[in-house]
């Protein structure tokens, strides 16, 4: 799932690196409001823990084994902001020391696993957690792995790499299977942690409004599926845009700031499609978040990373 | 552990080892970007990049066999992507994917094998990466070995309780660890790491830790460093320019 260098097209890794930088900047500001000095050793040691936990292999099917990826586990124990920072540190070191994932592709890998992986885990935990905590943990693990992997596949397709459709289905199936194991493991580990009486870990499951989580989760799933379909077959996106009249809006909005940016990198029509897709995604996410805001009055969040005595 | 090899190589001394870490990061990034922007059929440019990297390897006196083995790390992912691309009827792109990803990894390996980790992190800070992130990276790197070793011990212990003697590999036989055992192992590891982070923080406070304080002393750029990164950047620009204007 760690995308190496030399595969993604420049617009794809540049765009995702920018998105990740903004997301991490936001997260960093939120962490800074808390006692951030304490968070640094926590983030560092738990990042090292993720490294080590990935060395423990367990079976999936007879003959194949896998290991924990850990973003869901960190999210449900440390909270999304800290988990996202820790996963970023892990991915950065993996890119440099292990050469696991590329350096230019780091932005894309951070986006898939450290940003979307943790966000989706948090939302899934909340959305399913109200029924029973175990289901929340299973869902968090499943969504974090599956969405991150599906995003990686979509990025490959968006980079213009042609994949046979059966291989895409095969990859998605394998991801769903790994996701189940990740979910089961996350739930089992959380149950054990709870039984061990570690009260310091406040699980953020089910504490916050469920409708925000469900809306956000659904919109991410829809967007990932949309990104997969659109990058596999850009014509679908174009016809959809033309039908809804969004294309005129997109071209007028995009023409001015990006007008002379198009020429040097790629064919203008291709770049315009990518940009139009990005704009569409931004619009849908914005609308979903506004809708969710409208339905719920958000109270001030309590600090996620509780201090220990 | 296998990734310690590069760390050991970075302790050597050569022209490349002595360059400032910032200069090496800038050089690596510019060559990586040039590779990313090269079209799929730029064989001349790929070849000259490979020659340059091999020259750098011999200049830094690095063992070729170890580096070659490390480069193969990318094959699981890029090999699959290349294969899929080839099966979809685009063999030229498949080959280009392989070449580009191998050269990119080679670049990163050269950077890591000639730069000590503290210098690399210090350079990241001087290049403007936020303090919190650099500190976090430092911590992960420092405790990586401690906690991996702990995990290794626990896996050995679990294996000996279950009667497996399978050589020094960390991996358990796939069927020897059930989900439940693996979960228990990871949970205990989690608890130990979490408690360790608490103790580390107390120790830091006791020693007068202030945020914004980093250990390594800031380095200064010398003329050879600027020359080094300057020539790398211009080489990268030359590659892209020749490829764009069809040489």
Q: Domain extents for chain B?
A: 4-115+220-244, 131-206
- Number of inter-chain CB pairs under 8 A, A vs B: 258
pLDDT of residue A304: 47
Give the pLDDT band of residue A165 (cuts 50, 70, 90).
Answer: confident
**A56/B151 Cβ within 8 A:** yes
Which is more confident, A104 or A222? A104
Q: What is the value of ipTM here, to two decimals?
A: 0.88
B168 lies within 8 A of chain A by CB:
no
pLDDT at position A62 over 50: yes
* Phi, psi (degrees; rounded to nearest 5) at A67: -140, 165
pLDDT at position A67 over 80: no
Structural domains of chain A, ranges and CATH numbers in brackets: 10-295 (1.10.1760.20)
pLDDT of residue B110: 93
Among residues of chain B, what percentage have pLDDT more than 90? 25
Residues of A in contact with B185 (CB under 8 A): 56
3-state secondary structure of A59: strand
Give the pLDDT band of residue A90 (cuts 50, 70, 90).
Answer: very high
Option in B73, B132, B140 nearest A93 (CB): B140
B148 lies within 8 A of chain A by CB:
yes
pLDDT at position A302 over 50: no
Which residues 160-199 of A are in CB contact (within 8 Å) with B? 160-164, 167, 181, 184-185, 188-189, 192-193, 196, 198
Which residues 197-236 of B are in CB contact (within 8 Å) with A? 197-198, 200-201, 204, 209, 211
Point out the least confidently predicted range of A111-115, A167-171, A213-217, B52-56: A213-217
Q: Which residue has the tokens 């050793």?
A: A41
pLDDT of residue A299: 45
**B140/A47 Cβ within 8 A:** yes
Which is more confident, B226 or A133? B226
Q: Which of A168, A149, A265 minimizes the C-alpha distance to B85? A: A168
Interval B55-74 mean pLDDT: 88
Among residues of chain B, what percentage have pLDDT more than 70? 88
Q: For B22-32, how does the pLDDT look when each residue is reduced to its tens digit (9 = 90+)?
A: 999 999 999 99
Option in B85, B151, B193 nearest A45 (CB): B193
Average pLDDT, chain A: 76
Contact yes or no for A186/A205 (Cβ under 8 A): no
Give the pLDDT band of residue B233 (cuts 50, 70, 90).
Answer: very high
What gap in Å lies between CA B18 and CA B16, rounded to an integer? 5
Q: For B158-209, how does the pLDDT look when each residue is reduced to its tens digit (9 = 90+)?
A: 777 776 545 444 444 444 566 777 788 889 999 989 888 888 888 888 888 7
**B28/A193 Cβ within 8 A:** no
pLDDT at position A111 over 90: yes
* Phi, psi (degrees; rounded to nearest 5) at A300: -65, 135
Q: Which of A118, A121, A152 minimizes the C-alpha distance to A27? A: A118
Option in A48, A88, A95 nearest B193 (CB): A48
pLDDT of residue A270: 56
| Most confident range, picked from A91-100, A204-213, A245-254, B100-109 | B100-109
**A49/B112 Cβ within 8 A:** no
pLDDT at position B80 over 80: yes
Q: For A136-152, how does the pLDDT look when each residue is reduced to its tens digit (9 = 90+)?
A: 889 999 999 999 999 99
Buried b / exposed e over A112-133, threshold 16 CB at 10 Å, is bbbbbbbbbbbbbbbbbbeeeb
Q: Which residues contact B53 (CB under 8 A, 6 or more apart)?
A: B103, B106, B107, B110
Which is more confident, B170 or A60? A60
**B190/A49 Cβ within 8 A:** yes
* Phi, psi (degrees; rounded to nearest 5) at A58: -140, 160
Q: For A172-208, how does the pLDDT look when each residue is reduced to its tens digit (9 = 90+)?
A: 998 998 899 899 889 888 888 888 866 555 555 445 6
CA A246, A248, A249, A253 dihedral sign is positive
pLDDT of residue A53: 86
Taking the CB of residue B18, how many other CB atoms lie within 10 A of it?
Answer: 12
B138 lies within 8 A of chain A by CB:
yes
Interval B197-225 mean pLDDT: 78
Task: Look up residue B79 and give its DSSP letter.
Answer: I
Contact yes or no for A110/A20 (Cβ under 8 A): yes
Option in A89, A98, A167 nearest B140 (CB): A89
What gap in Å lies between CA A220 and CA A217, rounded to an integer? 5
pLDDT at position A17 over 70: yes
Cα-trace Rg, chain A: 20
Q: Do strands A57-59 and A65-67 pair parallel, antiparallel, or not at all (unpaired)?
A: antiparallel
What gap in Å lies between CA A118 and CA A98, rounded to an integer? 22
Give the pLDDT band of residue A88 (cuts 50, 70, 90).
Answer: very high
Instruction: State the distance between the two ends of chain B, measured CA to CA, in whole angstroms.
Output: 45
Residues of B in contact with A4 (CB under 8 A): 74, 77-78, 101, 104-105
Interval B34-63 mean pLDDT: 91
Which residues 75-134 of B are in CB contact (within 8 Å) with A? 77-78, 81, 84-85, 87-90, 93, 97, 99-105, 108-109, 111-112, 120, 130, 132-133
pLDDT of residue A306: 46
Instruction: State the distance between the two ends of chain A, measured CA to CA, in whole angstroms.
Output: 38
Q: Where are the alpha helices (DSSP H) in A94-233?
A: 106-109, 117-129, 133-158, 165-195, 210-232
pLDDT of residue B107: 94
Taking the CB of residue A280, how many other CB atoms lie within 10 A of it?
Answer: 21
pLDDT at position B245 over 90: no
Interval A61-85 mean pLDDT: 81
Side-chain half-sphere exposure of B234, counting CA atoms within 13 A: 5
Find which of B29, B68, B84, B199 to mutate to test the A interface (most A CBs within 10 Å of its CB): B84
pLDDT at position A131 over 90: no
What gap in Å lies between CA B170 and CA A171, rounded to an integer? 27
- Chain A: residue whose CA lies nearest to B84: A163
């Amino acid at each position: 799932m760690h995308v190496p260098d030399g595969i993604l097209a420049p617009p794809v890794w540049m765009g995702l690196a920018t998105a990740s930088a903004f997301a991490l900047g936001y997260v960093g500001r939120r962490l800074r409001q808390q006692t951030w000095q304490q968070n640094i050793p926590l983030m560092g040691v738990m990042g090292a823990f993720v490294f080590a936990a990935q060395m423990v292999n367990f079976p999936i099917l007879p003959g194949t084994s896998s290991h924990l990826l850990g973003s869901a586990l960190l999210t449900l124990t440390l909270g999304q902001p800290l988990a996202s920072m820790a996963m970023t540190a892990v991915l950065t070191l993996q890119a440099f020391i292990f050469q696991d994932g590329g350096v230019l592709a780091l932005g894309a890998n951070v986006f898939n696993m450290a940003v979307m992986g943790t966000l989706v885990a948090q939302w899934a935990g909340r959305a399913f957690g109200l029924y029973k905590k175990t289901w929340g943990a299973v869902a968090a693990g499943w969504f974090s792995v599956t969405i991150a992997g599906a995003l990686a596949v979509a990025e490959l397709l968006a980079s213009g790499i042609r994949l046979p459709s059966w291989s895409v289905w095969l990859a998605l199936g394998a991801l769903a299977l790994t996701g189940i194991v990740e979910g089961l493991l996350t739930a089992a580990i959380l149950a054990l942690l709870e039984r061990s009486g570690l009260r310091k870990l406040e699980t953020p499951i089910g504490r916050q409004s469920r409708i925000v989580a469900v809306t956000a989760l659904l919109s991410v799933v829809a967007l990932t599926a949309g990104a997969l379909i659109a990058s596999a077959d850009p014509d679908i996106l174009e016809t959809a845009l033309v039908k809804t009249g969004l294309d005129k809006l997109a071209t007028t909005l995009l023409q001015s700031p990006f007008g002379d940016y198009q020429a040097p990198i790629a064919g203008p029509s291709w770049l315009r499609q990518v940009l139009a897709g990005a704009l569409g995604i931004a619009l849908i996410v914005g609308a979903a978040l506004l809708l969710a805001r409208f339905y719920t009055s958000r109270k001030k969040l309590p600090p996620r990373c509780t201090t220990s005595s | 552990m296998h990734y310690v090899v590069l760390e050991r190589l970075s302790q050597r001394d050569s022209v490349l080892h002595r360059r400032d870490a910032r200069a090496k990061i800038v050089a690596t990034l510019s060559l990586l970007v040039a590779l990313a922007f090269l079209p799929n059929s730029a064989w001349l440019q790929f070849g000259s990049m490979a020659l340059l990297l091999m020259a750098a390897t011999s200049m830094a006196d690095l063992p070729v066999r170890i580096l070659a083995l490390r480069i193969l790390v990318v094959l699981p992912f890029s090999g699959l992507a290349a294969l899929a691309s080839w099966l979809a009827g685009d063999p030229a792109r498949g080959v280009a994917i392989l070449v580009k990803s191998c050269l990119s990894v080679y670049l990163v390996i050269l950077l890591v094998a000639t730069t000590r980790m503290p210098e690399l992190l210090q350079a990241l800070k001087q290049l403007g990466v936020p303090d919190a992130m650099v500190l976090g990276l430092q911590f992960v790197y420092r405790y990586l070995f401690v906690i991996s070793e702990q995990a290794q011990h626990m896996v050995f212990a679990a294996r000996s309780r279950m009667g497996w003697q399978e050589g020094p590999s960390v991996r358990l036989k796939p069927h020897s660890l059930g989900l439940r055992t693996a979960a228990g192992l990871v949970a205990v590891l989690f608890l130990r790491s979490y408690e360790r982070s608490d103790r580390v923080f107390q120790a830091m406070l006791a020693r007068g830790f202030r945020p914004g304080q980093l250990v390594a002393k800031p380095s200064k750029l010398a003329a050879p460093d600027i020359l080094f990164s300057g020539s790398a950047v211009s080489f990268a620009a030359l590659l892209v320019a020749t490829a764009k204007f069809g040489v």
